[in-house]
Amino acid sequence: MPVNDQIIEEFRANDGKVGGFFEGRALLLLHSTGARSGLERVNPLVYITDAGRYVVAASKGGADTHPDWYFNVRANPTVSLEVGTKTIEARAIFPEGAERDGLYAKLAARYPFFTDYERKTARTIPVVALEAIG
């Protein structure tokens, strides 16, 4: 079973809590629609909250390319989130400039590995703010 599938299964079995790398970290499941396939995709992501939004980074562990889920939400910004035991409909917003930098700094303050990811790549790691709809 792929690692993400194991994390998703554990998340759902334990009211949004998982062990391993994600233990003790705020984790959500992002449901997006594939940009090319049109199929539902689910990705576990760490997050922070800011001004009522869930904020995630398209870090891909500091790789030189954006993760697939980022292209999905760019193409189809209406998503749903599993946070704990709740499901939330949301819209992806893509902060840029000073807003992006401030949100990334908040992510890195909470999760220092984001600083390492930023050092590993020449690309600017996108930040995505997920704002509840309704």
On whether the CB atoms of residues 1 and 10 are closer than 8 A, the answer is no
Tens-digit pLDDT string for the chain (134 aa): 678 999 999 999 999 999 998 999 999 999 999 999 999 999 999 999 999 999 999 999 999 999 999 999 999 999 999 999 999 999 999 999 999 999 999 999 999 999 999 999 999 999 999 999 97
Tell me the C-alpha distance between 23 and 27, whole Å: 9
Beta strand 127-132 with 86-93: parallel, antiparallel or unpaired? antiparallel
Domains of the chain: 3-132 (2.30.110.10)
Q: How far is CA 32 from CA 12, 73, 97, 98, in A?
A: 17, 6, 25, 26
CA angle 93-85-87, nearest 5°?
A: 35
